[in-house]
Amino acid sequence: MKAFTTIILTSLIISVLIIVLPTRGYDEPSVGVKKGDWIEYGVNITGNPPAVHRNVTWMRIEVLQVDGTSFPVNLTVRFVNGTLDTSIWKFNFTEGNTEGWVIIPSDLGSGDTFFDNFSKTDKYITIQNQEQKTVLGATRTVTYANDTYRDKQWDKATGVFIGSSEIFRNWSAYVTAVGTNMWSPPILGLN
């Protein structure tokens, strides 16, 4: 009888673990980029921006490594005179650091939210829309969100922004993706 009770108890514990364990981690944001991923942008700034943004014409983001929900990227900007400036930006989705929505958690669709600890208004930003769109020669699912001064578009699978318009009091910035190694156009009609 003890053996039968032990078998029943063991079966019950295993059944509970099978049901409970797969749900662990669903609240953790998903990182859609990996080491070596890069994307480049054309930048058009008008008006009277702060000195750090003045005369920027191009930028590139390259992922250096990924550790859970955090990762650093090397951000390089080019100025009108051709000089380059680089800096390391540190992202951490669990802590809400999306660096101005440059990269957000991947696979978010309409109605989903991401945490932005640095937002001056709402800390949870809602994806407002998604659609299929040709981006850099490939069909991608693109998501959209905005707040009082910026409209952003992201590649859903990676979470990387592919375009934005940001309008401030004295200046505006318009940024569009111009190249990436994260996806490529279909070859001979194959995706």
- Mean pLDDT calculated for residue range 156-166: 97
Element (H, E) at 84: strand 84-92
> Could you tell me the pTM of the whole model?
0.82
How confident is the model at residue 15, as a pLDDT?
A: 44
Report helix, strand or coil for 103: strand
Contact predicate 77/96, CB 8 Å? no
> 9 pLDDT exceeds 50?
no
Q: How confident is the model at residue 188 (pLDDT cuts 50, 70, 90)?
A: low
Residue scoring higher pLDDT (3 or 61): 61
> Which contacts of 129-136 are long-range, i.e. CB under 8 A and separated by 24 or more positions?
130/156, 135/162, 135/177, 135/183, 136/162, 136/177, 136/178, 136/179, 136/180, 136/183, 136/185
108-112, 138-142, 144-148: which has the minimum mean pLDDT? Answer: 144-148
At 31-58, the pLDDT tens digits run 999 999 999 999 999 999 998 889 999 9
Q: Which two tokens stand for residue 86?
A: 């680089």
Phi, psi for residue 22 in degrees, rounded to 5: -60, -25
18, exposed or middle or buried, with CB in 10 Å at 0-12, 13-18, 19+? exposed
- Mean pLDDT calculated for residue range 110-116: 96
> 18 pLDDT exceeds 90?
no
Contacts of 49 (CB under 8 A, 6+ apart): 168, 170, 171, 173
Element (H, E) at 59: strand 56-63
Give the integer Cα–Cα distance in Å for 166 and 164.
Answer: 6
Q: Cα 150 to the chain's mean position, in Å?
A: 15
Q: How confident is the model at residue 1 (pLDDT cuts 50, 70, 90)?
A: low
- Mean pLDDT calculated for residue range 63-92: 97
Q: How confident is the model at residue 162 (pLDDT cuts 50, 70, 90)?
A: very high
> 10 pLDDT exceeds 90?
no
Q: How confident is the model at residue 114 (pLDDT cuts 50, 70, 90)?
A: very high
> 22 pLDDT exceeds 80?
no
pLDDT above 70: percentage of residues in the chain: 83
- Mean pLDDT calculated for residue range 14-37: 65
How confident is the model at residue 28, as a pLDDT?
A: 86
Mean pLDDT, the chain, as a whole number? 87
Contact predicate 164/175, CB 8 Å? yes
Contact predicate 32/106, CB 8 Å? yes
